[in-house]
Structure 1
């Protein structure tokens, strides 16, 4: 029978390639399959004209989810409310494409290419108007995309440190809340005040960044309180191997292969990215869903921390009592 050290070597040799393959799949698969899937797109103008536009867009099978609007003003409102990612407006001067690069520069670029391709086939020039532009300091959304991983790591680190320090119950919850609040303030200071890549209300952005960190740290510490080191590892793995690559930060959730796009929005990194876009660029439009998702993760995680601390305290208090009864019986 192999010795313990031999079994450990075999476990490492097998486990590391498996983890590498899993990580490669999680990050490379969505990137390699990025394409629009039922991407909400508006059309507006005279009924006969937009019917023709709709038929042309339907050639991109499964790419768009078409929404009709009465006029350009209604289409602009829909973009600003985050109901659609863009809109094609038929005007007397010719077709016009409305985009919102703040909702995802990759999506805006794809819409320009798709609509221009259709129009060029008929010899028509399309004018593009960026209704909600990305900030000039981050036109490609690179900084927003880069912020997903550090926030996830900050949340994992906070949950792990609280666990390793042996903090329980109310003390653990207080530490998690304080650390997350500080993360939010520091991150908003860097992204908004210094880099200028976020352009919304400063305190609202700090709250979103802090809540994103708390959703992760609470989950890590909560599962650790209930299941020990294994729970902490599972929570960290889900956030890193699913939450980050499925967040849709580089493009948009509707640009990811299913079910990655849907899964990502139910996990803290994806919900946090969507909420941050809404608060930073769209005055909080469509913020309710992702805000509730983050709140549920944070609340359940903190409840798990309190429950795990209570169960452990009861177990430890019961052990001395049992020992005392045993000594009394012997005496």
Structure 2
């Protein structure tokens, strides 16, 4: 008795093959553009910088800074204490103070080590060309264990990945409605505690209030995870891919974590602050090094992402329940006697 012939393997459909061949290079090109283009075009663009001192001397400094066309957004202050206060309030990244002994440069490496270095090169280089020396004072220094901000910058991607993983897991495990929302909040809170324990207690790369930092880490994670689960609840599994692409290909390289939003090409810096990685980085710097100065804007951005994501999770569950619930059978009227 002859055995039945084996079914020949199915050949991939030509359209699917073409889609793979075309889509993968396009995604690779998009990723290279998103990460490489902002890095290659890093330069100051309307970077907030203060000047303080006598009016005539300040005017001269402003004229010198204007030689860097469009690089600095200059703010005038009456004296050095006012300039220091502006730096501590995150109104400016640094300030040039004109004193009888010569120019003094105030920086804040905690706000951005890259910007602090750039200001030293720009101001000190200009003074050296004129035969003078510039005293540099770091008003808000970066932590000794992370003077270049590398550890803080490196924390953005893991938290984004954690948020993506949490949102995808909640979706793929079939959690819906209040159960899914509760799981997202619980996971984010736990990640916040772990991240603060690692970054603050163990590594010592952030130095602010421990619980406030844990809250920032948790809110960053929840903003991403809730958005992933919310998109998936409304759009299906494609929502996971859409949010993942938004966070990884736009939010992460546009965050300005390695430098500052004003160091990225426009409108990259602005867009990055509308997304969780950029808003989270700015909020973490404010809470960790500046006693919460300028924290309201990024905190509201993260809160909106988290609230809208959780709202979408609840709405998606409600819509699915309404779509699957059987329609009530109309009651029959009792037959009347003839």
TM-score where L is the length of structure 1:
0.95
Provide the rounded CA distance (Å) in 2 between the counterparts of 1:9 and 1:203: 51
Matching residue of 1:121: 129
Q: Which secondary structure does the structure 2 equivalent of 1:101 belong to?
A: coil
Matching residue of 2:164: 156
Provide the rounded CA distance (Å) in 1 between the counterparts of 2:20 and 2:236: 21
1:198-237 maps to which residues of 2 (within 5 A)? Answer: 198-237=206-245
Q: Which secondary structure does the structure 1 equivalent of 2:205 belong to?
A: coil
Matching residue of 2:144: 136
2:294 counterpart of 1:292 = no
Provide the rounded CA distance (Å) in 2 between the counterparts of 1:52 and 1:315: 70
Deviation of 1:3 after TM superposition, in Å, equals 6.5
Unaligned runs of 5+ in 2: 1-9, 331-338
2:83 counterpart of 1:65 = no
Q: Which secondary structure does the structure 2 equivalent of 1:196 belong to?
A: coil
Q: Which secondary structure does the structure 2 equivalent of 1:103 belong to?
A: coil
Match of 2:269 among 243, 249, 261: 261
Deviation of 1:138 after TM superposition, in Å, equals 0.3
Provide the rounded CA distance (Å) in 2 between the counterparts of 1:53 and 1:117: 13
Provide the rounded CA distance (Å) in 2 between the counterparts of 1:165 and 1:314: 21
Provide the rounded CA distance (Å) in 2 between the counterparts of 1:11 and 1:313: 35
The structure whose residues are more often helix, as a share, is: 1
- Could you report, residue by residue, the CA deviation over 1:195-248 in whole angstroms, capped at 9, with x for unpaired residues? 000000000000000000000000000000000011111111100000000000
- Could you report, residue by residue, the CA deviation over 1:51-83 in whole angstroms, capped at 9, with x for unpaired residues? 111100000000000000000000000000000
2:43 counterpart of 1:35 = yes
- Quote the RMSD (CA, aligned, Å): 1.2
Moved over 6 A (4+): none
Matching residue of 2:334: none
1:3-82 maps to which residues of 2 (within 5 A)? Answer: 4-82=12-90
Count of matched residue positions in the alignment of Structure 1 and Structure 2:
321
Provide the rounded CA distance (Å) in 1 between the counterparts of 2:114 and 2:130: 25
Deviation of 1:4 after TM superposition, in Å, equals 5.0
2:123 counterpart of 1:145 = no
Provide the rounded CA distance (Å) in 1 between the counterparts of 2:185 and 2:314: 13
2:213 counterpart of 1:195 = no
Provide the rounded CA distance (Å) in 2 between the counterparts of 1:281 and 1:209: 15
Larger Rg: 2
Deviation of 1:88 after TM superposition, in Å, equals 0.1
2:325 counterpart of 1:317 = yes
- Could you report, residue by residue, the CA deviation over 1:91-142 in whole angstroms, capped at 9, with x for unpaired residues? 1111000000000000000000000111011100000000000000000000
Provide the rounded CA distance (Å) in 2 between the counterparts of 1:42 and 1:10: 56
Provide the rounded CA distance (Å) in 2 between the counterparts of 1:19 and 1:137: 37
2:256 counterpart of 1:239 = no
Deviation of 1:6 after TM superposition, in Å, equals 2.9
Deviation of 1:152 after TM superposition, in Å, equals 0.3
Provide the rounded CA distance (Å) in 1 between the counterparts of 2:203 and 2:264: 28
